Every structure is written in C-alpha cells, then in structure tokens.
C-alpha cells in the first residue's frame, strides 16, 4: 500500500491515508461518467480500487488505464469466449485451473509451456484470457486474486514460448487484469529459459516483477517460500508436493461447460429482452464478478 507524503501546500493536509484513498476513488468514479451495459457491470467498486492500486492511486493514470481496458474488452469480448471455441488449445493441459486453492483461498492456474500443442498466437492468447476469466469467475467471496504455478517439464526449443507471445501475455495481464495476480511461482526453470527471462523481465512493471518467484528444488529458501503459499498435500509432485497431477481433458471440458452457463448468467446473456436484443445489449443488473466456486 502506498503512503503519501504531506505537502505544506496541499489542501488535504492532515488527511488520513484512508480518506485520501476514498477521495481518489470518488474522483475516479465521477471522472468515468455514466456507464451502461457491460462497462457498468465490469466497473465495480472493487475493480476501480484495483486500477487505482495498480497506478499507485494516481487518478489520471488509473482512469487512462481503465478506459484502455474498456476499449480492449469491447473489442476482444473476453466474457463471450466459450470453452468449445478454444477447447483444442487445452487438449494437453498446457494451461488449466487447478482443483485446489492456495493457503489464501485464491484460484490457481497451472501453466505448462512444455505442453504447447499449437502455433496460433491469437488462439493461445484467447485460451489464456478465457482461463483468467474463469479463475476470476471461481474466486471465493472477498478474494480478488489468483495464483500461477508454472511447470517447465518438457520445455524445449520447439515448445519454448516466443518473445511476442510472452510480451502479449504480460501486457494483457498487467494492463487489463491489474492486481489480479497475487503470486507466480516458476518452478525449476531450465537453462533454456534463462536467456528468455532476461528479455521478458523488461516487460514487467515493478509491481508484477515482485510477484514472480523462482523456485529451485535444491534451494531450501525458495522451496519454503512456495510451501508458505501452498499445502504440500495439495501441491502436485511436479511442484515439490505430494499430490498427483492428472489433467483429464474430458472432465475439465465438462467443468468449463458448466462454468460457461454460470458466466452467461452472470453477464446476462441468458436473458432475452422483449425488444428482441440479447441480455448483452442492455444494462444487466450488476452482480458480483467474483462468485463463490460452486
């Protein structure tokens, strides 16, 4: 959390941090003007606070960032992606939502770049965005963030992520899902990844960079850090835990189909309006964007 220095010329002398942040929140909310439809539903109070936090509570920078996200969401339409559209990308389990949470109750995404099975950058990004949205959909009440576990097993020159793919991924995560990533553990990355990382880390803003942790099985300190976030009984052996990691594409697809129904209801796509337009065309009743996992 950022603390503000007092200025002898400030009209808000003596204002507590809490009051400063409340004032800035109200300023941002007012500056956006009237919202409707999906923009209204997306811009919850919690959402606005995440964008303020990501820009150190600078209202102008937060507004610019949020408006860029609204334009991106209007174009990309992440809430409209359905599993059957990108299921082929998920056949190897290169990215999927785990069936366990971390010690803070956060949704967990497991990423296995060595399981890359396609070459379409656009489809890979669409697949990842779908799963980020799914992780958010399945957050517990009061929880805003997810955790990432990255397993490098099987990574080779042929499956190594391209610089462009990594840059696009980082940009989407940082710019359009600010403060959604709580922690990312890169478990036992091979030497082939080191040169790649030297380039990728320059794309990361300081806040994101601090959330990326490297874990090496022979480094006791890094292993203990990881175990402070995860119960070893839940953690797969690929990450130094005791659980068996089994990705069942048929079962996962079934779960995603159920979540697609839940997402459609959340965004109002399941409601048909009397004017002939679908629920996406009108302002739906705002609902919590992070319901409890069913």
- Given this model, what pLDDT does residue 279 score? 37
pLDDT in tens, 208-234: 999 999 999 999 999 999 999 999 999
State both tokens at 216. 């090496």
What single DSSP character describes residue 160? S
- Given this model, what pLDDT does residue 6 score? 42
CB-count exposure of residue 120 (10 Å: 0-12, 13-18, 19+): exposed
- Given this model, what pLDDT does residue 13 score? 62
Element (H, E) at 212: strand 212-215
- Given this model, what pLDDT does residue 215 score? 95
CB-count exposure of residue 151 (10 Å: 0-12, 13-18, 19+): buried
Longest distance between any two alpha carbons in the chain, whole Å: 64
Using CA atoms, how far residue 229 sits from 11, 34, 143, 215, in Å, is 42, 40, 15, 12
- Given this model, what pLDDT does residue 160 score? 67
- Given this model, what pLDDT does residue 294 score? 36
What pLDDT tens digit does each residue of the chain (294 aa) get? 444 444 433 456 678 999 999 999 999 999 999 999 999 999 999 999 999 999 999 999 999 999 999 999 999 999 999 999 999 999 999 999 999 999 999 999 999 999 999 989 999 999 999 999 999 999 999 999 999 999 988 887 666 678 888 899 999 999 999 999 999 999 999 888 888 899 999 999 999 999 999 999 999 999 999 999 999 999 999 999 999 999 999 999 999 999 999 999 999 987 654 333 333 333 333 344 443 343
């Amino acid at each position: 959390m950022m603390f503000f220095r007092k200025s002898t010329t400030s009209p808000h002398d003596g204002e507590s941090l809490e009051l400063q942040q409340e004032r800035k929140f109200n300023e941002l909310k007012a500056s956006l003007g009237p919202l409707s439809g999906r923009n209204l539903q997306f811009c919850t109070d919690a959402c606005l606070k995440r964008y303020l936090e990501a820009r150190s509570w600078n209202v102008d920078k937060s507004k610019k960032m949020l408006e860029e996200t609204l334009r991106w969401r209007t174009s990309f339409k992440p809430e409209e992606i359905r599993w059957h559209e990108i299921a082929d990308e998920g056949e190897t389990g290169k990215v999927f939502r785990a069936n366990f949470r971390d010690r803070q109750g956060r949704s967990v995404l497991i990423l296995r770049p060595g399981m890359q099975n396609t070459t379409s950058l656009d489809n890979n990004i669409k697949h990842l965005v779908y799963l980020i949205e799914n992780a958010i959909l399945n957050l517990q009440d009061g929880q805003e963030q997810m955790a990432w576990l990255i397993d490098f097993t099987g990574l080779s020159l042929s499956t190594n992520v391209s610089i462009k793919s990594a840059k696009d991924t980082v940009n989407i995560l940082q710019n359009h899902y600010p403060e959604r990533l709580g922690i990312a553990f890169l478990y036992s990355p091979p030497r082939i990844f080191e040169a790649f990382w030297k380039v990728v880390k320059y794309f990361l803003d300081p806040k994101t960079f601090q959330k990326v942790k490297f874990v090496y099985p022979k480094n006791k300190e890094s292993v203990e850090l990881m175990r402070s976030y995860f119960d070893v009984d839940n953690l797969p052996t690929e990450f130094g835990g005791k659980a068996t990691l089994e990705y069942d594409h048929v079962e996962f697809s079934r779960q995603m189909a159920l979540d697609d129904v839940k997402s459609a209801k959340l965004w109002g796509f399941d409601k048909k309006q009397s004017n002939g337009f679908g629920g996406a065309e009108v302002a739906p009743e705002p609902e919590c964007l992070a319901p409890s996992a069913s």
